[in-house]
Structure 1
């Protein structure tokens, strides 16, 4: 006969407030201590929770840092500026502002390096950051299609491939500009990039 597992055996439900405090403490530790100095013990102390609380939620430091920076990217919103070009410019500037935060820079550079030989960590980066932020592309395309600024797509597979490509182009360009080239993403750069994205290399320069 199978025994029923009582509620006390299934573990306590996760606290949204505790999770938010832990992720905020992780970002603060990244700014103050850097990647190499950050430990789960330090984060637990800052968040005012037991270290075992962290281990029940995250397998280790890498996963914790991914989720801490993913929460920053969840703040991204697609502005409604009236045109597809201006919407893209707005989200590019928001994205760059997040990458300009020291905790985001430190976390992304570190976890990407750590994920080189860690398939599970790459998958967590993909599911927690990349896949969640593709919502902006889906939302932006749907809005532009409703305005008549983009043609509608009836094939879901083609639409999904397009979403992946658009995200890769935008995110790749902004991340490279901010973290690799270490140059600013200002209004002029965002406008030039958007023009290139929408019109391609053969479009004439703006007059």
Structure 2
């Protein structure tokens, strides 16, 4: 998705006051990513981020309850800015393009540090896990929905027989792409280059085509 606004945060219980500054939000999120790369998760503090962004620490706490929420939103902003799905003319080209974009994003030091840190923290924090899901995962699933609709419009894939199947398939496609790229990039530390992206795309598209043979378009 491109040109997305910064992720929404808590607003302090509905208090009134001056409107939120988009420029301040961007400065804070950029300072958070910078501090993560330089200091690491354990040494990162809200005070350090405030100083780097040129705002009062109270400004941060009016927007975020703590550094976990702040880091999730800093990562979410990167995903919104750098992942997109322009129409490349075919399902395979669309998948291959977004795989390479995603891998390049994960190779950025600030993304790698932040994502691994918040995922580790979320294993013992259900609220943080929910925030990761809503701020990052659910927002990026829209790319799957867009890509699938295009493929169906081109006749590359049939429509699912019902809404339940459509939702289930969207989740599976997202999980396969995100899981494979995250594992190869962050766990195995192997490159996601053009050759790997082509092989992965061929496997995924072949699987989608085979799965589509198991149901027919109800409108046909």
Same-fold status (TM-score > 0.5): yes
Alignment of 1:31-180 (within 5 A): 31-75=37-81, 76-180=83-187
Alignment deviations for residues 51-110 of structure 1 (CA, whole Å, 9 cap, x no partner): 000000001000000000011111210132211001100000000000000010001111
Alignment of 1:8-19 (within 5 A): 10-19=16-25
C-alpha separation between the residues in 2 aligned to 1:88 and 1:57? 35
Greater Rg, structure 1 or structure 2? 1
* DSSP 3-state at the match of 1:72: helix
Deviation at 1:12, TM superposition (A): 2.9
Runs of 4+ with deviation above 3 angstroms: none
What are the ranges of 5 or more consecutive residues in structure 2 without an aligned counterpart?
A: 1-14, 211-220
RMSD: 1.4
TM-score by length of 1: 0.90
C-alpha separation between the residues in 1 aligned to 2:26 and 2:72? 14
Deviation at 1:154, TM superposition (A): 4.9
TM-score by length of 2: 0.85
Partners of 2:91 and 2:205 within 8 A in 1: no
What are the ranges of 5 or more consecutive residues in structure 1 without an aligned counterpart?
A: 1-8
